[in-house]
Amino acid sequence: MAATFQRLIASDVVYTDSYQDPSKQVLAQKSINATVDDSQFVDPKLIEFAAPQRMQSILNALLGGTPIGGGGTVVTSTAADGSVVTVTESSGAPTAGALHGTTLISTAFNPGTVQLDPASVNEVDSANSMSLAITVQNSGDATEVSVKINIVLRAKGMDDRALPTGEITTLDPGAQGTVEIPFGLSDIVFDSVVTAKVTVEKVPGEQNIDNNIGVYQIQFRLKPA
């Protein structure tokens, strides 16, 4: 599988260097108003899968085994409309065994990267485009794949709002990944506190899920004029 990814990456490079760029130059020289389509077989976020050891680690995790090697991870994530992902790498090698587990580390409101406190009412300024950035840590010693995060917004006077599911594609032992899950003005109310329940779905083999849930109270202010 890694070899297939490598061939697809090479195809992108060959297309760009040998066809796309020369074609653009010829069109410009002849003053022809036309475009040359991009070619992208492999999303840049997935280039890590071209490494045989990385692919072996992921396949091993899917089969319920322990990761091979160790080191850092390149975490990718997607939501229903294409959420934004940030990455935190881990440099430590995994310990022996096959303990599976995840931990909800933090939740931040955007815009503004406001860290939400589960013990108080968090006041934030509303915006046309908002999101909650959820950081999750792999607290086990096996690579986890397809870690899903769900958010439900609840408030008096409105129906529950289930936001698009966020997903972290791969997460190595000790590594943290952050996925941004978007929402808008139609998902909230201003005349009462909105409760956001964040749930990191149980991964296969996980026993303790007490640290997978966070509940936050949010008071949205009208956006400044």
* pTM for the predicted model, two decimal places: 0.60
**pLDDT confidence of residue 78:** 43
**pLDDT confidence of residue 77:** 44
Helical H runs in 16-125?
21-29, 52-62
Please state, in angstroms and rounded to a whole number, the distance separating the CA atoms of residues 196 and 27: 53
Please state, in angstroms and rounded to a whole number, the distance separating the CA atoms of residues 181 and 195: 15
Q: Is 189 exposed, middle or buried (0-12, 13-18, 19+ CB in 10 A)?
A: middle
For residue 199, give every residue at least 6 positions away whose Cβ sits within 8 Å of its Cβ, in sequence order, or none.
Answer: 149, 150, 151, 152, 212, 213
**pLDDT confidence of residue 218:** 98
Contact 41/9 with Cβ under 8 angstroms?
yes
Could you report the per-residue pLDDT of 77-117, keeping only the tens digit for each? 444 444 444 444 444 443 445 799 999 999 999 999 999 99
Q: Which helix (H) or strand (E) holds 156?
A: none
**pLDDT confidence of residue 73:** 39
Contact 124/114 with Cβ under 8 angstroms?
yes
Q: Where along the chain do its domains lie?
A: 71-221
Q: Is 168 exposed, middle or buried (0-12, 13-18, 19+ CB in 10 A)?
A: buried
**pLDDT confidence of residue 54:** 57
Q: Tokens 């071209």: give the residue.
A: 50
Q: Which helix (H) or strand (E) holds 125?
A: strand 121-125
Number of Cα atoms under 13 Å in the Cβ half of residue 212: 19
For the chain, list residues with pLDDT below 50: 66-96
**pLDDT confidence of residue 41:** 62
**pLDDT confidence of residue 114:** 97
Concatenating the DSSP letter of every residue in 198-212 gives EEEPPPTT----GGG
Please state, in angstroms and rounded to a whole number, the distance separating the CA atoms of residues 167 and 149: 6
- CATH number for 71-221 (one of 2.170.120.12, 1.10.260.40, 3.40.640.10, 2.60.40.10): it is 2.60.40.10
For residue 188, give every residue at least 6 positions away whose Cβ sits within 8 Å of its Cβ, in sequence order, or none.
Answer: 126, 153, 155, 158, 161, 194, 220
